Amino acid sequence: MIDTWLDPLRTAFGGFAWPWAWAAFPLPWLVAWLLPARRGGAAALKVPYGKRLEAIAGAGTGSPRHLRALALPWLAWFLLCAAAARPQQLGAPVAPPQSARDLMLAVDLSGSMSEPDMELGGNVVDRLTAAKAVLADFLERRAGDRVGLLVFGQRAYALAPLTLDRDSVREQLRDSVVGLAGRETAIGDAIGLAVKRLRAQPEGQRVLILLTDGVNTAGALDPLKAAELAKQEGVRVHTIAFGGAGEDASFFGLPLPMPGGGEEIDETTLRRIAQTTGGRFFRARDTDQLAGIYAELDRIEPVQKEGEMVRPRIERYWWPLSAALLVALLAFARPGRRRG
C-alpha cells in the first residue's frame, strides 16, 4: 500500500545526481563540537545568582530563544546541501531514434557521368545531376542513420565520414563534379575504401550503396576481390548500374553506337558483387527507375526506429538554492539579531 502511494512521487522526482553531497550537512555541528568554545573577557561583576539571571533572560544555549535563533541558519545550510546534491526531476517520456545503419554512399564521377541522357523536371540533364537529385531525396529519409560519402573515378576519395549530419553529406554531394576523382572508373578501389571506413563500425549494420555507369578501368583492386573483402568484413554492397537505354542512332543509314548503351556498363560484375556480399543489384535507365530503386533500398535497409522509452532528467538545483538565499536574507533581517 505504501509503495502504491509513493509511486507518483518516484515518477515525478528523479532523485539526486550527487547524493554524497549530503555528507556535508553535519559539518557545522562537528566543527562546533570539536573546536574549543570561544571565551570572552572576565565578567565585570560576579553574583551568586548569575545562572538564574541567565535562565530568566533566556541566554542559555538550550533555551527556546537560542534554538529559534539557530533555526534559520540551519535551514539555509540544509537547502544549500540540497542544492549541492543536484536534485533532478523526471521529464515526459520520449523515444529517441536509434541509428539503424552505418551507410556509405559511393558515387561514380568518371567522365561518362557527364552524358546528358537523363530527364529531370522536364529538362534533359547529365547523369550526375540526375543522380544528385535522387540521392538528396534519399538522404532526407535516412533520419537516424549514420551516412558517409565517397566518390570515385580513377581513384577513390572519402568526402564525408560516417555522420548523423546528413546536411553536410548533401553539401559534399552537391559540390561534386565530373572528373573530380579522374576520368576513369575504379570500382574495386571504391569498394575497398568503403570497407576500410566501415570496418571500425559495429558489425551487422554495415552497408555500401555503389552507383556507377561504367566498367572498372582503373585502380589497384579488382572489383570481385574487393567484393570478397567486403564479405569477410560483413559489409553488404548494393550495386546500381545507372545509364540511358543506349538505343543506336544512324547517320545516312549507318548505325552509330550511342554513349550509355547497355554494353558500356559491366552489369555482370556488378551483379556478382551484390550476390557475393548479400546485397542486391539494380538497373536504372532513368530518374524514375533510380528513385524507385532508392525507395526499395528504404524498404530493405530499415531507417529510423524508435528506441526504448526514456525520461530525461531535468536539473532543479536552483529551487533549493533560491530558497537558501531567501532564508539567509530573512536571518539577517530578523528583529533582535545580535550585532557587533
Provide the residue-wise pLDDT of the chain in tens; the chain has 340 residues: 444 444 444 445 568 888 888 888 888 888 878 876 555 555 555 555 455 545 555 545 555 665 666 788 888 888 898 888 888 887 777 666 554 577 889 999 988 888 888 887 788 888 888 888 888 888 887 777 788 999 999 899 999 988 888 888 889 988 888 888 888 889 999 999 999 988 887 777 788 999 998 888 888 899 999 999 999 999 999 999 888 654 444 443 444 444 444 447 888 999 999 999 999 898 888 778 888 887 777 776 655 555 566 667 788 888 888 888 898 888 777 765 555 4
> Residue 161: enclosing H or E segment and its boundaries?
strand 156-163
Q: How far apart are CA 130 and CA 121, in angstroms?
A: 10
Check the CA dihedral 136-141-147-153 and report its sign: negative
Q: Which CATH superfamily is domain 97-306 in?
A: von Willebrand factor, type A domain (3.40.50.410)
Q: For residue range 133-158, what is the model confidence (pLDDT) as tens digits?
A: 888 888 887 777 788 999 999 899 99
Confidence (pLDDT) at 9: 45
Q: For residue range 298-338, what is the model confidence (pLDDT) as tens digits?
A: 776 655 555 566 667 788 888 888 888 898 888 777 765 55
Report which of 295, 193, 278, 292 is spatially closest to residue 239, judged by C-alpha positions: 278
- What residue segments make up the domains of the chain, in order of their start? 68-92+315-340, 97-306
Confidence (pLDDT) at 307: 54
